[in-house]
């Protein structure tokens, strides 16, 4: 029957009140919120996107050559391991874009060829099928074996690196809060980053432009860096300067003991003894076991913590930030880094390490600050469009449905309040496409009420009494409205899942609008109709439509 329980009335009123309270902070200044706004009330404001508020625009170029060199360095280790496992004596030399293997015993060449042909991996996946291999292994007429990356393999590695870089950049920017950055790939080697609200790009460049690759290395136990510089650097070792004194170098094993990718957490803090800024870190289980074994076998010897910040000012910035001596086995998988950091440097480095290392150096090739003038014009135009469109819709609804048209308009207003309040509460960002989603939601909300009212008219034409017609109209229109909104919701979820930036903004407002539409059409509008019917009990209820 057409009635509401007291509990349901209270719940609807509380939801509407929450929507109003969550929307109100958007109409006051940040200073008022900070100094005068009651702490027990919602205080989150709706964030504006780059197209409405302005912000930073960066176009980043990936270093494909660096990516290739890293791949070749890794490939050299794989080739050596594959041949050493088969106990095949060989020499290895760089040749063109790959490695040339010379087998010492000519009779072992075929065995070496079979072993090396296990290295190439198929490209593609099980769904689309393979499209070649990432490596090419070939035998030459003069007795050598060439192992080199293929063009398709390099293309796929670039694609994977771009995807990894986008995720790392997104995690680093998310440390500033939920500000909905736009991070998309452009072409094969470029990434576009747009962050709303950043008037100064200096902090942003430092945060996302540095590679921040952390590694832990064994220090040569008999030769110093100065001795290696005067004589010859042993095979498998590298000279890396110290951060505190760049003129001093340490001789480190080239292959790290543990990689920074194995960090599961990194947090800034202060040393309890010296009160200097430090970074506390924690390894995953695999790295904790590796580091525990290494520290157990090297008690009394130093190990080096190396930070690779990528290419800065045309030079690669690789430094030893710390080289502590292992006093006792480190079995807990955690430790701390100290390196004369400032508080800001410690915070930024912790964010970079926590979000992961960039797969390659990113060079900023385009940088600009986008002003909010376009957004201001769009907002002003949107306000005029809302006013004109709102008056037009209101006039039509009141003309067509009278008092029930006013109920529908009040429900649409509650609908918009709930959407804005929810977006403010969850920290969502409003973009121009998001405004389009809001306008579309208004149309859908009005359409839901029109369906209900036309169903009521149809029931009355079939001879039903007003109360029975109203009850049937709401009940029978429910399935139609849910079906139509469900298909739209599926489209919104797909757009949010696969899209980014403005597309996601549109999907958020559209999806929230669908839930708000169903709520307001079948609870808010119906509640107002029920209250109107109760008010008419003392007299004969007139035909509502």
CA distance 367 to 41: 40
Residues of the chain with CATH 3.30.1360.200: 231-343
Cβ–Cβ < 8 Å for 446, 439: no
Instruction: Give the number of other CB atoms < 10 A from CB of residue 35.
Output: 8
Tokens 């042909």 belong to 117
Q: What is the DSSP code string of 173-201?
A: HHTT-S---EEEEETTTEEEEEEET-S--
Alpha-carbon distance of 28 to 42, in angstroms, equals 12
d(CA 51, CA 124): 37
pTM exceeds 0.75 for this model: no
**Stretch(es) of the chain classified as CATH 1.20.1640.10:** 6-53+371-535
- Name residue 105's beta-bridge partners: none
Q: 6-53+371-535 adopts what CATH topology?
A: Multidrug efflux transporter AcrB transmembrane fold (1.20.1640)
Alpha helices in 175-284 (DSSP H): 202-209, 225-230
Class of domain 231-343: alpha beta
**CATH class of the 64-152 domain in this structure:** alpha beta
* 389 SS3 class: helix
Structure confidence at residue 538 (pLDDT) = 56
Run of H or E including 460 = helix 432-461
Looking at the DSSP bridge assignments, the partners of residue 320 are 242, 306
Per-residue pLDDT tens listing for the chain (545 residues): 567 788 888 998 999 999 999 999 888 887 888 888 888 888 888 877 777 777 888 888 888 888 888 888 888 888 888 888 888 888 888 887 888 888 888 888 888 888 888 888 887 654 445 567 888 888 887 888 899 999 888 888 888 888 878 877 887 777 666 566 778 888 888 998 888 877 667 777 777 766 667 788 888 888 888 888 888 888 888 888 887 777 888 888 888 888 766 777 777 888 777 777 877 778 778 788 888 888 888 888 888 888 776 555 555 667 887 777 777 777 777 777 666 667 777 776 677 666 666 777 788 888 877 766 555 666 677 667 777 877 888 888 888 888 888 998 999 999 999 999 998 888 777 877 888 888 888 888 888 888 888 888 888 888 888 788 888 888 888 888 888 888 888 988 888 887 766 777 788 888 998 999 889 988 898 888 888 887 776 555 565 66
Spatial distance between the Cα atoms of 19 and 43, rounded to a whole number of angstroms: 12
Whether the CB-CB separation of 284 and 332 falls below 8 Å is answered with no
Q: How high is the pLDDT of residue 126?
A: 44
- Torsion angle of C-alpha atoms 482, 484, 487, 492, degrees rounded to 10: -90
Partnered with residue 98 across adjacent β-strands are 95
Give residue 348's Cα distance to chain centre. 18
């Amino acid at each position: 029957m057409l009635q509401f329980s007291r509990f349901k009335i209270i719940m609807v009123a509380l939801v509407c009140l929450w929507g109003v309270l969550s929307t109100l902070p958007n109409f006051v200044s940040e200073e008022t919120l900070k100094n005068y706004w009651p702490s027990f009330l919602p205080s989150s404001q709706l964030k504006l996107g780059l197209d409405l508020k302005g912000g930073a625009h960066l176009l980043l170029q990936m270093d494909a050559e660096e990516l290739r060199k890293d791949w070749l360095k890794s490939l050299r280790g794989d080739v050596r391991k594959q041949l050493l496992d088969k106990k095949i004596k060989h020499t290895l030399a760089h040749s063109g874009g790959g490695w040339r293997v010379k087998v010492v015993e000519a009779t072992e060449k075929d065995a070496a060829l079979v072993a090396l042909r296990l290295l190439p991996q198929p490209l593609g996946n099980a769904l689309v099928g393979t499209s070649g291999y990432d490596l090419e292994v070939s035998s030459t007429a003069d007795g050598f074996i060439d192992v080199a990356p293929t063009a398709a393999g390099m293309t796929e590695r670039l694609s994977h690196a771009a995807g990894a870089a986008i995720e790392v950049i997104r995690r680093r920017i998310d440390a500033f809060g939920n500000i909905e950055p736009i991070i998309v790939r452009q072409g094969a080697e470029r990434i576009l980053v747009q962050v709303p609200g950043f008037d100064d790009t200096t902090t942003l460049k430092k945060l996302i432009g540095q590679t921040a690759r952390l590694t832990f290395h064994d220090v040569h136990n008999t030769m110093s860096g100065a001795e290696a510089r005067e004589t010859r650097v042993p095979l498998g070792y590298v000279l890396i300067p110290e951060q505190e004194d760049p003129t001093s170098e340490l001789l480190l094993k080239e292959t790290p003991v543990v990689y920074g990718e194995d960090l599961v957490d990194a947090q800034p803090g202060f040393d309890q003894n010296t009160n200097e800024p430090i970074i506390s870190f924690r390894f995953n289980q695999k790295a904790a076991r590796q580091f525990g074994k290494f520290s157990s076998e090297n008690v009394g010897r130093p190990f080096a913590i190396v930070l690779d910040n990528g290419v800065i000012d045309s030079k690669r910035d690789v430094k030893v930030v710390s080289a502590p001596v292992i006093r006792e086995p480190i079995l807990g998988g955690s430790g701390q880094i100290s390196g004369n950091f400032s508080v800001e440097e410690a915070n930024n480095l912790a964010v970079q390490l926590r979000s992961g290392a960039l797969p390659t150096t990113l060079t900023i090739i385009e940088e600009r600050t986008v002003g909010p003038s376009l957004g201001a014009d769009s907002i002003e135009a949107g306000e005029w469009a809302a006013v004109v469109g709102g008056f037009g819709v209101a006039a039509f609804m009141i003309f067509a449905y009278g008092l029930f048209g006013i109920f529908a308009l009040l429900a649409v207003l509650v609908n918009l309040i709930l959407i804005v309040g929810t977006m403010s509460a969850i920290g969502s960002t409003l973009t121009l496409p998001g405004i389009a989603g809001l306008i579309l939601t208004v149309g859908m909300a009005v359409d839901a009420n029109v369906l209900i009212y036309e169903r009521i008219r149809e029931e009355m034409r079939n001879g039903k009494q007003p109360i029975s017609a109203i009850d049937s109209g709401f009940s029978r229109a429910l399935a139609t409205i849910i079906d139509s909104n469900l298909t739209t919701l599926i489209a919104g979820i797909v757009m949010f899942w696969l899209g980014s930036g403005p597309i996601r903004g549109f999907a958020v407002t559209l999806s929230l609008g669908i839930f708000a539409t169903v709520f307001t059409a079948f609870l808010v509008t119906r509640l107002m109709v029920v209250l109107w019917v109760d008010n008419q009990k003392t007299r004969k209820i007139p035909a509502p439509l």
